[in-house]
Homo-oligomer: A and B are copies of this chain.
Amino acid sequence: MSLPHAILTALLEKPSSGLELTRRFDLSIGYFWSATHQQIYRELGKLERAGLIRALPSEQTTRGQKKRYEVLPGGRAELSRWTAEGQDPKPMRDALLLRLRAAAVVGTDGIGADLRRHLELHRDRLAEYEEIERRDFPPGLDAVEDRLRHAVLRAGIDLETFWTRWLARTLEDLSGDLAEDTADLAEGRAES
């Protein structure tokens, strides 16, 4: 159960409305904890009922109108509690690895194209992270908070680096076995 704590963190960084939170999740927090707007609205409701956050007094309450939330002392305490408490890492789930394993049984059709697609996506994501690092983390930033945020970003960078390297190597490794690709190409040419 981490979504409420992701929201509390985001709200402590800056009081926001539901949609604003959704956008911020798409940009930064969502890089390692994604959420849709429905999840966020539902959770905001729960957090408010639990007395951990409240709508800023000035905001209206009717549907369709902006409602900005801020964290109450109880919410900060709950986030502290959760942050300090250890949690076991959840087992990973990666459909691409599963597909590779299935391909060992039913054949590699389509695998090459998908590996290349993933490689591109991870390269783009990596470039994006490196840009953020250049922009937001100039050398000489020493505060603990900066070091923590930088460590998180570095995890993203290292992870994407791992994926791009592994995908490139795997493509090379299987290059001889993925004959379907040139076949696709020839077919595409013939049809166009």
Contact = CB atoms under 8 A, between A and B. Distances in A.
Contacts of A31: 91-92
A183 interface: no
A34 B113 contact: no
A93 B166 contact: no
A29 interface: yes
B98 A2 contact: yes
B99 A83 contact: yes
A98 B32 contact: yes
Interface of A: 2, 5-6, 8-9, 12-13, 29-34, 76, 79-80, 82-111, 113-114, 117-118, 121, 144-145, 147-149, 151-152, 154-156, 158-159, 162, 165-166, 169-170, 173-174, 177
